[in-house]
């Protein structure tokens, strides 16, 4: 990622737009229950129960799941909600 500290606000916004779509990634842990993760995914993304269950199973079996793809700002919002219960996340651009 380029150093944006010397750029104007407009240049930073343009740079962010070129990095879309971003991905919100959720990682597996051995702390949270399936129900906790399912609930938090639904809260963070607004998805239905079936989708949240599928993502939770993917996290469990593969170690991670992309739970949201879209604008960087929205991905940061999604990971923030997931992190409310100390789930491990990452945003990829």
**Choice between 11 and 82, residue whose per-residue pLDDT is larger:** 82
Q: How many residues does the chain have?
A: 93
- Of 22, 42, 23, 50, the closest CA to residue 85 belongs to 42
Specify the pTM.
Answer: 0.80
Note the pLDDT of residue 60.
Answer: 97
The answer to whether the peptide bond before residue 21 is cis (omega within 30 degrees of 0) is: yes
Cβ count within 10 A of residue 60: 13
pLDDT band (50, 70, 90) for residue 20: confident
Q: What is the pLDDT of residues 41-82, one digit of tens each?
A: 999 999 999 999 999 999 999 999 999 999 999 999 999 999
CATH class for domain 20-92? alpha beta
């Amino acid at each position: 990622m380029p150093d944006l500290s010397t750029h104007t606000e407009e240049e930073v916004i343009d740079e962010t737009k070129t990095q879309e779509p971003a991905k919100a990634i959720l990682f597996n842990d051995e702390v949270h229950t399936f129900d906790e993760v399912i609930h938090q995914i639904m809260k963070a993304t607004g998805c239905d129960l079936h989708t949240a269950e599928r993502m939770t199973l993917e996290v469990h079996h593969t170690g991670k799941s992309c739970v949201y793809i879209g604008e960087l700002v929205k991905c940061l919002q999604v990971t923030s909600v997931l992190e409310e219960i100390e789930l491990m996340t990452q945003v990829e651009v």
